[in-house]
Structure 1
């Protein structure tokens, strides 16, 4: 129900400028020119709403899930890009110059005022660059924090350029009512940035944390544990994640999303299972006890709290174990009566973390490169493995919670759907998004 409400709210918000433009506009023009204006209006409103779909607003991401929120963000960004790229090529009207409004009869479509056109041209060049950088960010050799800063500044610049272009070069945007609409929507987008990068850090500064321990789990995986510094801690559900800032100002851009691997029932301390990936995670072993930390969260709906399914299947790949470990710990600590089964995939045996704690009962270890004496599952977490571990009844009745590499999750999710698992019983969280 909440997903449907959010979709309707989005459609209303993105089409409102188009509807108001139609109500306040002048006489109709040729179809292609009206289509050009319509695509431009939709592209601009979609760009502005992308600020809200950034994943940093709990009312959205916690309601429908981070995977859905970010995939929606990606698809709509590319749709807006398509509309924007087509938009200028559909105009066929005769250019006109002179003082604005350049066309009192509302029959012409294009101004020759270069200052009005230049901002549109600049946005036209920046928008595809921003989308392509987002799609290829994992292949580019720069830090996550650098990409995030570029993405934020680029999006803000595009919004401001489009605002100027729409108001000063648009047939409909120059109408007083529409000018105020675009100013309000752009203000909302800019306000969302101020909330994320100013108000949230101010709040976090008053709720600092301290590092209590940093423990090496495997050659490339660490556990970082924090305790609240003068406050009661974080109200979260097992399986959720936060944006973690270690050793920097609360206003620093050096924060990253990490899943919580501890259980709420264990007390106020919070733990994270973090893998070295070549960025700041290379320095985890150098972090000392007492180091200040800040958390923004919790986010995500990768939680089985309140669900009524008779069993919980946890499907993890590598460091994707983190949120599922939190769920497993919470179920064990609270004496949850539901059946639970963990499938945990890695490449080699030395990558298995928390093996002593996990134990062997209802835990299936999977290695793609096992040693000769390996007695567990061999290969990958795939359809054949799922069929060996789960029955037809369990596919239909259990809730399946997944976190790990995209290829693993795509294979498992496709197989679950093929086996008849309802979509609302498949919860997933991916490592990254293009």
Structure 2
């Protein structure tokens, strides 16, 4: 789906309950009461739409990019939390109590029924905890699988609790029309969870894969290759990623997103470049050939397929080489005529992965000038801690390096594709914009946002 269409759909979904509430809710109350109700309604509808922005629906994430989808998911969750926090405090000064003869629709008073209020309070606390856990997941030291389970269960509880609170404690939610609207929206949200955690695993069970090889690329990086077992495999574009589950049930939480480093033109086998970082990745070297695996994908839009720019700049930091290696391999296999230049940064020389393969078709270049002067293909290796006899670039991938490697014309005409540490991508993106590179020619992929 196009980004503009997605924005319109999001705005309609989030504001529809607010608009309908204004139509069926009766005479207006004091401004602070209406504002309190409005913020509560918006918070609930935004939370329900968050289920769809989980990143596991390709029509959304592949249309605008996984990093954009997940960043939007995070920002909207925090915005909903702000609205939810303000919501109860804006009711201060409003009389409370049960149903009164002169106020049967609670236009002037708020309910004091504890059961109706308790579900809202519980959801309020859970939402705050969920956001804090998401922001501080790395610092809190949660295993990824544990965090993912808690995040999903917590979100489900919040939706159910808010549904009860909205219908039984809210002036607007108690209206029959609004009750059905909230039931429908909550049903869609819960249904999206069922799709991700029940339907997709069932479909995966019918499409298993088998590990064919596990190869060490560097002291802490591996290439894991899987082949389809009894089916055609995955229809993907070079540069995309998939969720990989090795040796576990399809219903297990033990799946992780990894970029595909193989080329679609190589056949049905797909390969992932994996760096030892977390609980699963530290055991990659122990995976045996023949182990059953499951793949959910492809996701992301980090692809240069169908683009018309005369040159492709690939900028990688560490394991961020994975999707760019897939792009490079595909361009080679298909005889792509575009000029390609790879800038590949690491800390030490031992961390350079696939160097022999890169050097087969790329002539190392460090110089100034255009792609024609450097050749159709060239690679620039960058080390922050180079050995004494190092002949390549030293330091980091920064603005100065970009200016040495790319000409003014290339900045304006080429497509720049990058993946790596957040600080590297921030620096490169800022400099590209400064040098006049159009935003639609800057493609990036991030898996960490805070």
Which TM-score tier does this pair reach, normalised by the shorter chain?
A: over 0.9
Alpha-carbon shift at residue 141 of structure 1 (Å): 1.4
TM (norm. structure 1) is 0.98
Give per-residue Cα distances to partners, 1:380-403, cap 9 Å, x unaligned: 011111111111111111110010
Counterpart residue number, 1:306: 306
- Which segments of structure 1 move beyond 3 Å, counting only runs of 4 or more? none
Counterpart residue number, 2:415: 399
- Distance in 1 (CA, whole Å) between partners of 2:105 and 2:279 is 58
Counterpart residue number, 1:156: 156
Give per-residue Cα distances to partners, 1:392-419, cap 9 Å, x unaligned: 1111111100100100001100111111
- Distance in 1 (CA, whole Å) between partners of 2:47 and 2:325 is 37
Counterpart residue number, 1:40: 40
Decide whether aligned partners of structure 1 residues 102 and 204 sit closer, same or farther in structure 2, where only a CA change above 3 A counts: farther
- Distance in 1 (CA, whole Å) between partners of 2:170 and 2:184 is 17
Counterpart residue number, 1:181: 181
- Distance in 2 (CA, whole Å) between partners of 1:172 and 1:258 is 45
Give per-residue Cα distances to partners, 1:290-324, cap 9 Å, x unaligned: 00000000000000000011110001000000000
Instruction: Tell me the secondary structure at the aligned position of residue 140 of structure 2.
Output: coil
Unpaired segments ≥5 residues, structure 1: none
CA contact under 8 A between 1:396 and 1:422: conserved in structure 2?
yes
- Distance in 2 (CA, whole Å) between partners of 1:14 and 1:402 is 33
Counterpart residue number, 1:96: 97
- Distance in 2 (CA, whole Å) between partners of 1:153 and 1:387 is 49
Alpha-carbon shift at residue 102 of structure 1 (Å): 11
Alpha-carbon shift at residue 104 of structure 1 (Å): 1.5
Alignment of 1:284-433 (within 5 A): 284-359=284-359, 360-361=362-363, 362-433=378-449
Counterpart residue number, 1:28: 28
Instruction: Tell me the secondary structure at the aligned position of residue 142 of structure 2.
Output: coil
Alignment of 1:164-175 (within 5 A): 164-175=164-175
- Distance in 2 (CA, whole Å) between partners of 1:236 and 1:143 is 29
Alignment of 1:122-137 (within 5 A): 122-137=122-137
Give per-residue Cα distances to partners, 1:189-236, cap 9 Å, x unaligned: 000000000000111111100000001111100000000001111100
- Distance in 1 (CA, whole Å) between partners of 2:228 and 2:112 is 60
Alignment length (residue pairs): 433
CA RMSD of aligned residues (A): 1.3
TM (norm. structure 2) is 0.95
Alpha-carbon shift at residue 142 of structure 1 (Å): 2.0
CA contact under 8 A between 1:207 and 1:294: conserved in structure 2?
yes
Give per-residue Cα distances to partners, 1:215-267, cap 9 Å, x unaligned: 11111000000000011111000000000000001111100000000000011
Unpaired segments ≥5 residues, structure 2: 364-377
Counterpart residue number, 2:108: 108
Counterpart residue number, 1:248: 248
- Distance in 2 (CA, whole Å) between partners of 1:102 and 1:51 is 40
- Distance in 2 (CA, whole Å) between partners of 1:45 and 1:85 is 15
Give per-residue Cα distances to partners, 1:341-396, cap 9 Å, x unaligned: 00000000000000000015111100001000000111001111111111111111
Counterpart residue number, 2:197: 197
CA contact under 8 A between 2:67 and 2:447: conserved in structure 1?
no
- Distance in 2 (CA, whole Å) between partners of 1:102 and 1:358 is 80
Instruction: Tell me the secondary structure at the aligned position of residue 217 of structure 1.
Output: strand
Decide whether aligned partners of structure 1 residues 105 and 162 sit closer, same or farther in structure 2, where only a CA change above 3 A counts: closer
